[in-house]
Amino acid sequence: MAKLALFFFLSSLIFSSSLSFQSDELLVDDDEFGLEGAKPQSTELYTSSSPSSSSPQHQQTPTIRKRYSDPDLDSKVQFTLEHAFGDSDFSIAGTFSARLKTWSHGGKTLTKLRFSRNGFSAEEKDTFKNLLKGDDFYRIRVPSNVISPPGKKFVVASVRARCLPRDGLDEHFVIHMEGANILAVSYGSLGACQYPRQFKLPAKWSFNSHTILKSSEQAPRTPIFTEEILGSENAEGEVEPPPEKSFWAKYWMYLIPLGLVVMNAVTQATNMADEQTGGLAGGTQVQQAARRR
């Protein structure tokens, strides 16, 4: 009975979680979804938007949900993704929204990045097909400063259009951040893009987007001091006795000459015996021969 109850409980949990996954949660006020405890350095934030959504409804939210303690320091920012087909002009293709977190030391980092991708319009589909035919570049750009776009310049990235289509259109953004500035965007499909690239139309004209935020890592350094090693060695005090050598290892220099002498003596002895027997045999042969005569 208890087992049954547990089963029900678990299944309800699964059910509810799957329910929450499909819920039409409107994530307008996302103050409560802070990534607390995330370090300013080496934050990697992973979001992925489910296919074909022009509104941010179907987004997976990060797993950690904690009430953020100091919401005054946060502000929401939005910046647009623009795309261009080949050499065409850039046009709006989607919106990134994120929370700008201000740290006590004055640094600013982006957390909780969301992305909503606009689907291709019919006209854009045709242009994209042309790109696929010509194996041309599909280019995107984002502003280099997210607080006051477009900042200094736009950060541009591009990919051969033929790399994108899988089942749908696979895209993968790695956004390298420095504070509130975007340094670079690595853009491409998730998997490999084998050369020579084959012409292939996507089955579904919808984007499957994945986004990663990256900031720089600290250089590792193993702090070591030779003196300490020596010191610790000293402190141990107990010296491990050198491993006992084998008998052969100890006395090989005596054993080899001895062996040689012995072998020499043995061969001499056998030679002597041989000579004697040989001499005897010869004698008998002679005798036999003599007898034959």
Q: Which is nearer to another protein, 194 or 246 (CB)?
A: 194
Q: Which of 1, 192, 253, 290 forms a contact with another protein (CB under 8 A)?
A: 192
Burial grade of 62 (CB within 10 A; 0-12, 13-18, 19 or more): middle
Is residue 218 at the binding interface for another protein, with CB under 8 A as the rule? yes
Is residue 102 at the binding interface for another protein, with CB under 8 A as the rule? no
Is residue 178 at the binding interface for another protein, with CB under 8 A as the rule? yes
Is residue 194 at the binding interface for another protein, with CB under 8 A as the rule? yes
Answer whether 125's CB lies under 8 Å from 132's CB.
no
Is residue 135 at the binding interface for another protein, with CB under 8 A as the rule? yes
Residue span binding another protein (CB under 8 A) among the ranges 3-11, 66-74, 171-179, 257-265 = 171-179
Give CA 70 to chain center in angstroms: 33
Least distance CB 24 / another protein (angstroms): 32
Q: Which is nearer to another protein, 63 or 222 (CB)?
A: 222
Q: Which is nearer to another protein, 33 or 154 (CB)?
A: 154
Least distance CB 153 / another protein (angstroms): 5
d(CA 157, CA 83): 10
d(CA 265, CA 64): 87
Look-up: residue for tokens 């702090």? Answer: 223
Residue 233 sits at φ, ψ, to 5 deg, of -60, -40
Is residue 89 at the binding interface for another protein, with CB under 8 A as the rule? no
Q: How far is CA 110 from CA 34, 50, 74, 81, 264, in A?
A: 11, 21, 10, 16, 88
Is residue 278 at the binding interface for another protein, with CB under 8 A as the rule? no
Is residue 191 at the binding interface for another protein, with CB under 8 A as the rule? yes
Give CA 2 to chain center in angstroms: 43
Q: Which of 1, 28, 239, 290 forms a contact with another protein (CB under 8 A)?
A: 239
d(CA 273, CA 250): 36
Least distance CB 9 / another protein (angstroms): 40
Answer whether 104's CB lies under 8 Å from 126's CB.
no
Q: Strand 137-143 and strand 74-85: pairing?
A: antiparallel
Residues making contact with another protein (CB under 8 A):
41, 87, 135, 137, 139, 144-145, 151-160, 163, 172, 174, 176, 178-179, 181-197, 214, 216-222, 224-226, 229-230, 233-234, 239
